[in-house]
Chain A
Amino acid sequence: MADQDFRTCSITGLKVHLPAANLIMANAVAAVVLLLIGGLAAAGVALTRLPSIHLLPADWFYRILTLHGLAMLIAWIIFFEMAGLYLGASVLLNARIAAPKMAWLQFILMVVGVLLIAAMVLTGQADVMFTSYPPLKAHPLYYLGVILFAVGALIGCFVFFGTLYKARKEGTYPHGSFPLVTFGLACAAMIAIATLLHGAAIYIPTLLWSLGLMGMDESAYRLVWWALGHSSQQINVAAMISVWYLVGTLSVGMKPISQKLCRTAFVLYVLFINVASEHHILVDPVFSNAHKIWNTGYVMHLAVLASMIHALAVPAGIEVALRKKGYTSGLFEWLKKAPWSNPAFSAIMLSIFGFGFMGGITGVTFGSEQVNITVHNTWRITGHFHATVVFGTTLAFMGVTYYVLPLIFRREVLGMGFAKLQPWFFGIGMLLQSGGMMLAGAYGIPRRHWDIVNFGGSPFSFAWDPTAYMWLGVFGIGALLATIGGAIYILVTVGTILFGKKLA
């Protein structure tokens, strides 16, 4: 092992493999750039959905909405997860990254994929939304872009497992099981591989279909696409919970209360989350009720059980750690004296709240047959997944960035005063935004809709219950606060990387 390839971290004492650190930085920078693009698109979408502003024309609204979904849900999150996988496998285990050239191929393929997707969407050749339900058809290069991106991510997962294997073989960490964070990330990577294979199973035929080489069955597309579309969100869940444990450890010295319970919960995700994605097709023709009930009732609840376990284990771990610091008076002194001014800590606490109480609970209820009839494709769905993926995952990833900057980029965080406020702006913003969406959606406001006031001049136009407009207003205030939070995050991150004080 060439020791000159390593440096020892002055803060954690971990040995950092420099090629791994470069890969982590490259992927993290790409993630933040895409968050900026997706964030600008988000502002365009939000300002158009507010009837009083109605900023974009219809064609650009649908185009920018397509871009927003892809830039955020796919690009920002998966680039960040690639950085997380390399960190969990290499840095936490003091190991060399396996096959760094393959890892760079991952990065290049994902960048090329994103560029193709963005070029096709922005030139108006892929006005198909994130889901690209046929017979809506995009330019073949759009589907090729998604495939290249997915192949890149798949390579990243294999590099991750290769690194774990190498670390074990070379004995770079004390003999025993993997650390919990690495274990959680390994589960995320396993879900990712299953998910990306579903992606191949749907996007390769769709590419051939767009080239006119084969037919396409709309219902089969929906079934297989959602095995990608929903399961990929479970990669985020597993990665986000790993980040909760990581930040909990770094910020308050949290210990998992029971390794057995936490690890079992991660395994439940791997086993049951993929089939549970069928709640997306509960109000579809073709599939039988027995089939729908089995997948969304039985299988989904086993995955929910995993979330219930983490819902106890994560806050309990944090509470125990803080009580050990001496904050033992009463029930809540530990909560009062917690390090709220540490942006990483406040970010994960808000993320836990948002994901669990808003995103998780709505997700489980929306996944039942009877509730699903009343929520399908309304704004309630959009509100639900903004609570999980943005309030939950994105905020957790923002939080861990405040550790990645000093530990991997070796820069002191610039503008710490603003950084301390950032999770609060973003978290409270997302609370109001997702809440506003869900409640407006409860009055029937549809998702993916350009004109809920005049319906583009349709002779059948009608007026909504006025209460819906109040929730639209709440959505608008939330979107504004979240945009401020997002802007601070990007300014702090970019400012730190470019101008932050170098750490020895």
Chain B
Amino acid sequence: MSISVPEKVWWKPIDKEEKIWLAIAIIWMVISFVWMPIYHYIGKQNPSSESYKAPREQFEQLMNDFVQKYQVKDANGAPVVINDIPVVHPPAGGDAYLVGAGWKWTPILELEKGKTYRIHLSSFDFQHGFSLYPLNINYMAIPGQDYVITVTPTTSGEFPILCNEFCGIGHHTMVGKLIVK
């Protein structure tokens, strides 16, 4: 019985059925364990571990320079904005900056299909959840941290970015956009 004291010597060899089950479980565990690091090296979609401490002032400086330098211009040479948010075309293979702040994702990045970018993700206020629809790719944007995610877009189109970490009363309004050309 499970609610009474067991017989004096209960450390006994286990039966065959239990041994088989235990062996299956252990083999499965070992495979799962080994597969995770292996896939980290052969897989193409992994969490990044490249990150740096980035106080807001420094990150803001880098981002402002980035927006100024690479903001998309229309036919008249005027900078392009969508819903008050600048559209920026980073150099292929270069760095791009994306910040969650004030319930907005800034700027709107315009990437090129097949080119690789280093996206620097951060936040200026609360913790935000970067969530790209419909691919369903999710990363944390944390204040004071520069999270570098290396991506190569494979599909062109316009993709919404929403916030999926609660960041205050305007959390549900926090939607942005990513463009792949």
Residues of A within 8 A of B (CB): 58-59, 62, 92, 127, 129, 133-136, 173-181, 217-219, 222, 245-246, 248-250, 253-261, 281-289, 292-293, 296-298, 301-302, 304-305, 308-309, 312-313, 316-317, 364, 368-370, 372-378, 442-444, 446-452, 455-462, 464-465
- Cβ–Cβ < 8 Å partners of A219 in chain B: 142, 145
Q: Which of B1-26 contact A (CB under 8 A)?
A: 1-8, 10-12, 14-15, 17-18, 21-22, 25-26
Name 19 interchain pairs, CB-CB below 8 A, sorted by A: A92-B3, A133-B165, A178-B5, A179-B1, A246-B3, A258-B14, A285-B142, A286-B142, A297-B32, A301-B33, A370-B43, A370-B46, A373-B46, A373-B138, A376-B164, A446-B163, A448-B166, A456-B170, A456-B173
Residues of B within 8 A of A (CB): 1-8, 10-12, 14-15, 17-18, 21-22, 25-26, 28-29, 32-33, 36-37, 39-40, 43, 45-47, 49, 51, 83, 121, 125-127, 129, 131, 133-134, 136-140, 142-147, 160, 162-177
- Cβ–Cβ < 8 Å partners of B145 in chain A: 218-219, 285-286
Q: How far is the CA of A176 from the CA of B47 in the complex (A)?
A: 50
In the complex, the answer to whether B49 meets A370 with C-beta atoms within 8 Å is no
Q: If the complex has contacts A179-B4, A370-B45, are A376 and B129 also in contact, measured as CB distance less than 8 A?
A: yes
Q: Which of B33, B129, B175 gathers most chain A CB within 10 Å? A: B33
In the complex, the answer to whether B25 meets A308 with C-beta atoms within 8 Å is yes
Q: How far is the CA of A174 from the CA of B6 in the complex (A)?
A: 9
B70 to chain A, nearest CB (A): 21
- Cβ–Cβ < 8 Å partners of A281 in chain B: 140
Q: How far is the CA of A441 from the CA of B168 in the complex (A)?
A: 21
B143 to chain A, nearest CB (A): 6
Q: How far is the CA of A443 from the CA of B136 in the complex (A)?
A: 7
In the complex, the answer to whether B138 meets A375 with C-beta atoms within 8 Å is yes
In the complex, the answer to whether B136 meets A378 with C-beta atoms within 8 Å is yes
For the complex of A and B, 8 pairs with smallest distance between CB atoms: A285-B51, A446-B164, A285-B147, A259-B10, A308-B25, A245-B2, A456-B173, A460-B175
In the complex, the answer to whether B127 meets A218 with C-beta atoms within 8 Å is yes
Of A92, A175, A257, A377, which one neighbours B131 at CB under 8 angstroms? A377
In the complex, the answer to whether A249 meets B1 with C-beta atoms within 8 Å is yes
B56 to chain A, nearest CB (A): 11
In the complex, the answer to whether B177 meets A177 with C-beta atoms within 8 Å is no
B157 to chain A, nearest CB (A): 12
In the complex, the answer to whether A261 meets B26 with C-beta atoms within 8 Å is no
Q: If the complex has contacts A173-B5, A369-B36, A443-B134, are A62 and B142 also in contact, measured as CB distance less than 8 A?
A: no
- Cβ–Cβ < 8 Å partners of A448 in chain B: 164-166, 171
Nearest B residue (CB) for A364? B32
Q: How far is the CA of A133 from the CA of B127 in the complex (A)?
A: 7
Q: How far is the CA of A255 from the CA of B7 in the complex (A)?
A: 12
Q: How far is the CA of A177 from the CA of B175 in the complex (A)?
A: 58
- Cβ–Cβ < 8 Å partners of A59 in chain B: 169
Q: How far is the CA of A140 from the CA of B172 in the complex (A)?
A: 26
Q: Which of A135, A259, A285, A286 gathers most chain B CB within 10 Å? A: A285
B135 to chain A, nearest CB (A): 8
Q: Which of A259, A304, A309, A446 gathers most chain B CB within 10 Å? A: A446
Q: How far is the CA of A234 from the CA of B17 in the complex (A)?
A: 27
Nearest A residue (CB) for B165? A377
In the complex, the answer to whether A218 meets B160 with C-beta atoms within 8 Å is no
Nearest A residue (CB) for B53? A286
Apart from A444-B131, A449-B171, list 10 A-B contacts with CB within 8 A. A180-B3, A258-B14, A260-B10, A283-B47, A285-B121, A293-B40, A442-B136, A447-B164, A451-B172, A457-B173
Q: How far is the CA of A152 from the CA of B171 in the complex (A)?
A: 34
Q: How far is the CA of A286 from the CA of B177 in the complex (A)?
A: 26
In the complex, the answer to whether A62 meets B147 with C-beta atoms within 8 Å is no
Q: How far is the CA of A231 from the CA of B134 in the complex (A)?
A: 32
Q: How far is the CA of A58 from the CA of B160 in the complex (A)?
A: 22
Q: How far is the CA of A46 from the CA of B66 in the complex (A)?
A: 43
B61 to chain A, nearest CB (A): 19
In the complex, the answer to whether B136 meets A135 with C-beta atoms within 8 Å is no
Nearest A residue (CB) for B122? A285
- Cβ–Cβ < 8 Å partners of A178 in chain B: 5
Q: Which of A58, A222, A448, A465 gathers most chain B CB within 10 Å? A: A448
In the complex, the answer to whether B39 meets A369 with C-beta atoms within 8 Å is yes
In the complex, the answer to whether A446 meets B51 with C-beta atoms within 8 Å is no
- Cβ–Cβ < 8 Å partners of A296 in chain B: 36
In the complex, the answer to whether A369 meets B46 with C-beta atoms within 8 Å is yes
B125 to chain A, nearest CB (A): 7
Of A260, A287, A304, A456, which one neighbours B29 at CB under 8 angstroms? A304
- Cβ–Cβ < 8 Å partners of B127 in chain A: 133-136, 218
In the complex, the answer to whether B138 meets A258 with C-beta atoms within 8 Å is no
In the complex, the answer to whether A58 meets B172 with C-beta atoms within 8 Å is yes
Q: How far is the CA of A375 from the CA of B139 in the complex (A)?
A: 10
Q: If the complex has contacts A255-B1, A287-B49, A457-B173, are A368 and B32 also in contact, measured as CB distance less than 8 A?
A: yes
Q: Which of B29, B147, B167, B177 gathers most chain A CB within 10 Å? A: B29
In the complex, the answer to whether A297 meets B164 with C-beta atoms within 8 Å is no
- Cβ–Cβ < 8 Å partners of A370 in chain B: 39, 43, 45-46
B26 to chain A, nearest CB (A): 7
In the complex, the answer to whether B129 meets A373 with C-beta atoms within 8 Å is no
Q: If the complex has contacts A368-B36, A373-B137, A457-B173, are A62 and B166 also in contact, measured as CB distance less than 8 A?
A: yes
B85 to chain A, nearest CB (A): 9
B179 to chain A, nearest CB (A): 12
Q: How far is the CA of A477 from the CA of B1 in the complex (A)?
A: 39
B30 to chain A, nearest CB (A): 8
In the complex, the answer to whether B14 meets A260 with C-beta atoms within 8 Å is yes
